[in-house]
Amino acid sequence: MKQYDAIVIGSGQAGGPLAKKLALAGKKTALIEKRWIGGTCVNDGCTPTKTMVASAKMAYMADNSLSLGVKIKGFTVDMAKIKKRKDAIVHQFRDGSQKGLEATKNLDVIFGEATFTGDKTISVKLNSGRLKEFNADLFFINTGAKPLIPEIEGLNDIDYLTSTTIMDLDKVPEHLLVIGGNYIGLEFGQMFCRFGSKVTIVERSGRIVSREDEDVSEELTKILEEEDITIHCNAITSKIKKKQSDKITATVLINGSEKKIRCSHVLIAIGRLPQTATLNLPATGVEMDERGNIKVNDKLETNIKGIYALGDVKGGPAFTHISYNDYTIVYRNLIKNENLSIKDRQVPYCMFTDPQLGRIGLDETEAKKRKLNYKVAKLPMAYVARAIETGDTRGFMKALVDPDTKQILGATILGPEGGETMTILQMAMAGGITYDEIRYFVFAHPLFAESLNNLFMTFDT
């Protein structure tokens, strides 16, 4: 059995940089990865999807160029070339990260699947087939999450798609049925609609992006339907049947009424589950919740001293930037003797539909639940100079403020570069800058950020 100071399981956006930093700090470290370096973000998430979103945006711009006085004749979508570009960028990121890790002194990169066999002891089935055993004083679990697959009659009889496998397509689906109307389903639904697919989205809840305010959901629904995407809410898929012609028929209950939807492909996008099943965590005493998420305290340590969980595997906000922030907190606490916590940290996020949906802090729904005293500033993108000039006035800006302290409580930006504009308000919230100050800032003209002046000026009207 080989002894290490620290063992990191999973090379996602927490595991990779943490392993490298621990090794450089003098700890003999092993990084165990069962698949590819980089985790979901590099291989199945941020990098490949946003690469493909860029191609979809270009197709949309070509299709809608006439309103800006540019006539484009007969453009085509080359799905095979889009996939090839995506794969090349993924390999660039993945290979660069792997080379950097393998060149790090004091760090062993081991490819295989780890299973706990006892107190801080693991067995690793190497990708070569051999078994090896390791132990360490410190363990860091960063195994991420995987697509949740529902129990639907007949689903296993078809080659259904997930957020991973859909990016392997080299031909545009004729009719894509998306089961799930949240971030993953909406990004892929709009993307493939722009590539040329007929797209139908079915969502179990009463509206898409049901965690957002109602007006956000309504506006995004309007935007997607204007691109000829069909959206059914209060919709439960009960049965899927494949015919000899390879056509698929899905039986969907919409508001209690049965509807048959014929399609060529089905994408499952109803959520994700933590990858803890093969870790055998009971062998080392680590506690999980009923969904399999690893329980941690505010410093990301489990109930077993010296064992930590970072990123999606611990539940909570499942974002790459949260995973990376987990790494910085754990590293600084352990190596630099700081006293950092995940309690009350900001959780910004962006959904990369077009236009983007950027969000930070509270929305109206949460503020009402907490019975807070708040005011709402709202500005349609149709009133934003930069949006008018660029020809894209879809969406709106919205912010909640405390009328007594003038502090910003939260913001939702559904519009062009919504994530970038949201980030400015995030920085204001972190720095205690009031909305009164922002509305008199001097921003460069004409930028989307400049419209934050006007957003908060709405309180005077």
Q: What is the 3-state secondary structure (H, E, C) of 127-173?
A: CCCCEEEEEEEEEEECCCEEECCCCCECHHHCCCECCCHHHHCCCCC
Mean pLDDT over 72-81 rounds to 94
Mean pLDDT over 286-297 rounds to 97
Q: H-type helices in 39-78, by residue range?
A: 39-43, 46-63
**Residues in CB range of 363: below 8 A, 6 or more apart:** 212, 213, 216, 400, 410, 412
**Residues in CB range of 123: below 8 A, 6 or more apart:** 114, 115, 117, 131, 132, 133
pTM of the model: 0.95
Q: Virtual CA dihedral for 346, 347, 353, 357, nearest 10 degrees?
A: -40
DSSP 293: P
Q: CB–CB of 139/330 below 8 Å?
A: no
Q: What is the pLDDT of residue 244?
A: 76
Please, is 453 exposed, middle or buried when counting C-beta atoms within 10 Å of its C-beta (0-12, 13-18, 19+)?
A: middle
Distances (CA, A) of 424 to 74, 321, 413: 40, 17, 11
Q: Which residue has the tokens 């929305």?
A: 363
- 3 state DSSP class of 251: strand
Q: Hey, which residues does 3 pair with through a beta bridge? A: 135
Strands 107-118 and 248-254: unpaired
Residue 18 one-letter amino acid: L
Mean pLDDT over 179-206 rounds to 98
- DSSP H or E segment with residue 438: helix 435-438
- Per-chain mean pLDDT for the chain: 96
> Is residue 46 pLDDT above 90, yes or no?
yes
Q: In which band, very low, low, confident or very high, does the pLDDT at 461 lie, cut at 50, 70 and 90?
A: low
> Is residue 246 pLDDT above 90, yes or no?
no
Q: CB–CB of 400/386 below 8 Å?
A: no
Q: What is the pLDDT of residue 356?
A: 98
Q: What percent of the chain has pLDDT over 90?
A: 97
Q: Which of 336, 406, 275 minimizes the C-alpha distance to 12? A: 275
Residue 432 one-letter amino acid: G
Q: CB–CB of 2/110 below 8 Å?
A: no
Mean pLDDT over 4-25 rounds to 98
Across the beta sheet with 230-232, what order do the strands follow? Answer: 230-232, 198-202, 175-179, 265-268
Query: What is the DSSP track for 337-397?
Result: ------TT----EEE-SSSEEEEEE--HHHHHHTT---EEEEEEGGG-HHHHHHT---SEE
Mean pLDDT over 424-435 rounds to 97
Q: Which residue has the tokens 């993953």?
A: 184
> Is residue 296 pLDDT above 70, yes or no?
yes
- DSSP H or E segment with residue 331: helix 320-335
Q: Which of 56, 244, 52, 270 minimizes the C-alpha distance to 161? A: 270
Q: Which of 91, 175, 232, 445 is catalytic?
A: 445
Distances (CA, A) of 49 to 52, 54, 148, 167, 184: 5, 9, 18, 8, 10
Angle at 156 between CA 277 and CA 258, to 5 degrees: 115
Among this protein's residues, is 445 annotated catalytic?
A: yes
Beta strands in 247-354 (DSSP E): 248-254, 257-263, 265-268, 272-274, 307-309, 349-351
Cα(413)–Cα(400) distance, rounded to whole angstroms? Answer: 12
Q: What is the pLDDT of residue 245?
A: 76
> Is residue 382 pLDDT above 70, yes or no?
yes
Q: Which residue has the tokens 């390999």?
A: 91
Q: What is the pLDDT of residue 207?
A: 98
Cα(1)–Cα(198) distance, rounded to whole angstroms? Answer: 56
> Is residue 304 pLDDT above 90, yes or no?
yes
